[in-house]
Chains A and B, each alone.
Chain A
Amino acid sequence: MHEMGIASSILDGVAVEVRRRPGSRPVKVGVRIGELAGLDPDALRFAFEALTLDTPLAGLELDIEYRAPRGRCRECAREFEVRNFELLCPACGSRNAEVISGDELEFAYLEVEEDEPCAAGRKSPE
């Protein structure tokens, strides 16, 4: 339900990075989202598209890495992926485990196209 705000925050992050790289054009932005962040990837893609439509960022691709939470067994210290929200150690079968990640909402990468070195308007070396 708050995917629009998240999409807007992602675009703010892209804008900051692009300003640091004059002459570059963003093509794709990657984010990591944990299942526990409470975000629906489809709704986020929809919001992202709606916000970029008819703007200079139209066509910018959003790559979402949707991650299952990870748990750690308190009996045998094994780290494992939590499936279906069930904390169960696959090694020793114990349920005495804790969640160590899963609500992340982070930037991963930005793919940019840089201007060709010989592009017009560029100063040639003296």
Chain B
Amino acid sequence: MNRVPLEGKVLNENARVAAELRERFREHRLLVVNLISSPGSGKTALLEKTLDRLPGSERVAVLTGDIQTENDANRLKRYGFPVKQITTGGTCHLDARMIEKHIADWDLETLDLLIVENVGNLVCPSSYDLGEAAKIVLLSVTEGEDKPLKYPSIFFKSELMVLTKTDLLPYVPFDVAAAVENARRVHPDMEVVKVSCLTGHGLPDWFSWLERRRQTLLAALPQPVV
């Protein structure tokens, strides 16, 4: 019997496509974020408010994933930005191939920000790289503040936690400090933004996070020749 060392990554198809996408996004200087949460945490509501408040001149597009129906895309299309629905037909997450297919006829050069709304699920989407620059996890105050400990993988991998539905805080026994502490227990660098899409409270923090994140991305890219 002879044991020989083997080197190299077991590169699966998704990782390969995601790496290609990331390279394309970099070339086009495009910030791509991947929104992940349980169903009903308010991903689509946050996107509605985001698109509603953005000036029409902003170069933003949205891909929204669901198992079935075009409902989310229909909710989001009325704001005038490019929006496409990805229906997975049963699959519980988006994968890189779906992103590649759905952006095929978009000119990425005309975009600065692409927001991907993943299928509502805190588990499987955390395993699938979509070529995004950052994963963002949403947690609504009607969920438990121990969710970061119950579903650590996604909190571990997300740069930002958006606490949503904060207008409900007076009515629910949700401990914001405990939720933030739990998130930072699994991810000490976790950034946190608190928003209410009903009252608009905290939305400026969300916008400034996106802007800062895009600047960080651009700063890391080779500067264009002037």
The B-contacting residues of A in range 17-47, CB under 8 angstroms, are 17, 21, 24, 27, 29-31, 36-39
Chain B: minimal CB distance from A57 (Å) = 15
Residues of A within 8 A of B153 (CB): 36, 38, 85
Partner of B2, one of A39, A104, A114: A114
The A-contacting residues of B in range 146-188, CB under 8 angstroms, are 149, 152-153, 155-157, 184-188
Residues of B within 8 A of A24 (CB): 2
Partner of B12, one of A2, A87, A88, A104: A2
Q: Are B93 and A1 in contact (CB under 8 A)?
A: yes
Q: What range describes how many residues of B lie at the interface? A: 20 to 34
Nearest residue (CB) in A for B124 is A1
Take A2-B127, A39-B127, A105-B10 as given contacts and tell me if A111 and B184 are in contact as well, using a CB distance cutoff of 8 Å. no
The B-contacting residues of A in range 85-112, CB under 8 angstroms, are 85-88, 95-99, 104-112
Q: Give the number of residue pairs across the A-B interface with Cβ within 8 Å.
A: 93
Check if B9 is an interface residue, CB within 8 A of chain A: yes
* Residue with the greatest number of chain A CB neighbours at <10 A, chosen from B7, B153, B188, B189: B188
The A-contacting residues of B in range 175-210, CB under 8 angstroms, are 184-189
Check if A13 is an interface residue, CB within 8 A of chain B: yes
Chain B: minimal CB distance from A97 (Å) = 6
Partner of B156, one of A13, A29, A85, A113: A85
In the assembled complex, the Cα of A110 lies from the Cα of B67 at a distance in Å of 40
Residues of B within 8 A of A30 (CB): 6
Check if A51 is an interface residue, CB within 8 A of chain B: no
Nearest residue (CB) in B for A29 is B6
In the assembled complex, the Cα of A38 lies from the Cα of B151 at a distance in Å of 12
Q: Are A9 and B10 in contact (CB under 8 A)?
A: yes
Q: Are A109 and B6 in contact (CB under 8 A)?
A: yes
Q: Are A87 and B188 in contact (CB under 8 A)?
A: yes
Check if B85 is an interface residue, CB within 8 A of chain A: no
Residues of B within 8 A of A99 (CB): 156
Take A36-B157, A38-B127, A87-B186 as given contacts and tell me if A110 and B14 are in contact as well, using a CB distance cutoff of 8 Å. no
Check if A68 is an interface residue, CB within 8 A of chain B: no
Check if A60 is an interface residue, CB within 8 A of chain B: no
Check if B118 is an interface residue, CB within 8 A of chain A: no
Residues of A within 8 A of B4 (CB): 17, 21, 109-112
* Complex A-B: 16 CB contacts under 8 Å: A1-B124, A2-B12, A5-B12, A5-B13, A5-B14, A9-B10, A30-B6, A38-B153, A85-B186, A87-B188, A99-B156, A104-B9, A105-B12, A110-B3, A110-B4, A111-B1
Q: Which residues from chain B sit less than 8 Å from chain A, CB to CB? A: 1-14, 92-93, 95, 124, 126-128, 149, 152-153, 155-157, 184-189
Given contact pairs A27-B1, A38-B126, enumerate 9 new A-B contacts (beta carbons under 8 Å). A1-B92, A1-B93, A2-B12, A13-B8, A17-B4, A38-B153, A98-B189, A107-B6, A108-B6
